[in-house]
Amino acid sequence: MSFGGMFVRFGAGLAAVAVLAAALWLYARAWTPDRAEYPTQGVTIDSGDGQVEWDTIAAQGADFAYIRATDSQAARDPAFADNWRRARLAGLRYGALVEFSLCRPPADQGTAFMTTVARDNAALPPAIRLAFDPRCTARPGRDRLLSDLNTLVNLIEGHAGKPVLINVTEDFNETYRIGSGINRTLWLDRNFFPPDYTGGPWVMWTASDMRHIDGVDGPVRWNVVTP
């Protein structure tokens, strides 16, 4: 075969790979777990998602939304109050999410939550997200981490009047073994495949952080509840 022919075949191969990659990307953008297996599904929303069209989200199958109240710097999410109100008006179940920080005292984080989220008996249990933040390089020992986390849990539960949900990423759990360190309901993350990294049961799963839906700028974290 001539060099020119080899070059043509190589180019055709690259084009085929590009087409396959584009098809997989489009599939991933739209994929959700089967409703027959996971009938209750929803989103996680924060100010980075822009101006959210909540009625549109509800029309596309979201049953509930977890809305970020404070970020890992213990700062109030500027869109929280508006998202909280509009999610309720759209008929979605709604819950508040706190991003835990390894760099801030738990009392400060609890105070930020309590001054941001009014007690609401209709709300879903509040969630605490445990994920490493590149802006925080602190890595306390496991005993210290669990002590700080329990302090925050007690503050939030005392304010909300219901048990919290712990949303822990795989790398955070690998470092601190959260699944065996705190007796709370777990929410885990893993794209496309059900997670098993805590060695125990979970009640909520972020099945994709790549889903694109109308009414939101960019991809959303799409969550499902175990039946």
The answer to whether the CB of 69 falls within 8 A of the CB of 113 is: yes
Of all residues in the chain, what percent carry a pLDDT higher than 90? 81
The pair of three-digit structure tokens given for residue 68, joined into one six-digit string: 């970020």
Q: Which of 220, 197, 218 is nearest to 207 (CA)?
A: 220
Note the CATH architecture for domain 31-225: Alpha-Beta Barrel (3.20)
The answer to whether the CB of 156 falls within 8 A of the CB of 164 is: yes
Residue that wins the pLDDT comparison between 52 and 73? 52
**Digit-coded pLDDT (tens) for 148-164:** 999 999 999 999 999 99
Please give the span between the terminal C-alpha atoms of the chain, in angstroms, as a whole number: 59
CA 173, distance to chain mean position in Å, is 15
Give the DSSP letter string of 172-183: HHHHH-GGGT--
Residue that wins the pLDDT comparison between 206 and 13? 206
Q: Read off the pLDDT of each residue in 160-180 and give the average, rounded to a whole number.
A: 97
Distances (CA, A) of 194 to 101, 169, 198, 203, 204: 26, 13, 12, 11, 10
